[in-house]
Structure 1
Amino acid sequence: MEHKEYNIPFSGLKQGKHQFEYQIENTFFESFGYEEFNAAAISVDVGLNIASTMLELDFDANGTVNVLCDVTGEPFDQPVASNLQLVVKFGEAYNDEDDEILIIPHGEHKINIAQYVYEMLVLAVPQKRTHPGIADGTLKSEALDRLDALRPKEIKENKDDNDPRWDALKKLITDK
């Protein structure tokens, strides 16, 4: 799917800085076949600096994605913040093998940034997703109650209790 709304037509713009803003919702991720978020509300600001021989793009994203907690299965809003710098140069053929440098053919008049926005945002979400209410104790859920009931009881270690199996080894250390 070509995301036409993420095309930046730079050929008619003057040299210097330009700003673009995008509001990312869950339909954006679904269009890539990515369905791990329940909802998304992310603002992406893109600064474009046009120089005579290249373009510089500076992406800055802030917002939230609604995900399920890995521990409890409860949905929560995970804050997302990320930035990315991309240099666009002109060459003989399209080449996006480098993460930070994109080469587009001479004569190209627009650049589509959808793939860069998608990758930046998906990578900004932590691998382990833990509801903030677990850490501060405010989340009440059946899953947490069950985990607490299954937690092993504390074992008190008494330094006076010696395990006779270790005595022979301790003797070797003290014999030196």
Structure 2
Amino acid sequence: MHTRIYQFSADDHRGEKIELSNYIGKVVLIVNTASECGFTEQYKGLQELHDKYNTQGFEVLAFPCNQFKQQEKGSNADIKSFCDLQFNIKFDLFSKVDVNGTNAHPLFKFLKKEAPGILGTKSIKWNFTKFLVNKEGQVIKRFATITKPQQLESDIEKSLEMKC
């Protein structure tokens, strides 16, 4: 039996605890994000994926992170305001987390173990690393920062077509 994301919880941008078991039966894309990064425009592509596939059971979960050149300095309220004003996001935005190091959120420790990076690296190298999770809560693929959201469409579609 594979371990699944459903054992974890995380605080949303309002500080409210969200059980990831709320996403049972959904295909989920988990992304570490930042507002002042050269890849911040990917928020637009993430919203487009959300718009296109949400009614079919797809969710984007954004986890702001300030570990890469302090590109996410603001408070959770600042980050939410930025995302709404700049990209009108409708997907779930969580509280700022660490994705690497001893204070890394347990979810990201799990994601990195389940889907290591190039050459088996466990660390996340930069903002907008993406993890695709199937309807059963299993991590099926890791995508690098440079992978644009629209490049994930075929993997998302395949995951949505799979029966639980």
Give the TM-score, by structure 2 length: 0.25
Question: Quick check: which one's strand share is greater?
Answer: 1
Larger Cα Rg: Structure 1 or Structure 2?
1
Give the TM-score, by structure 1 length: 0.24
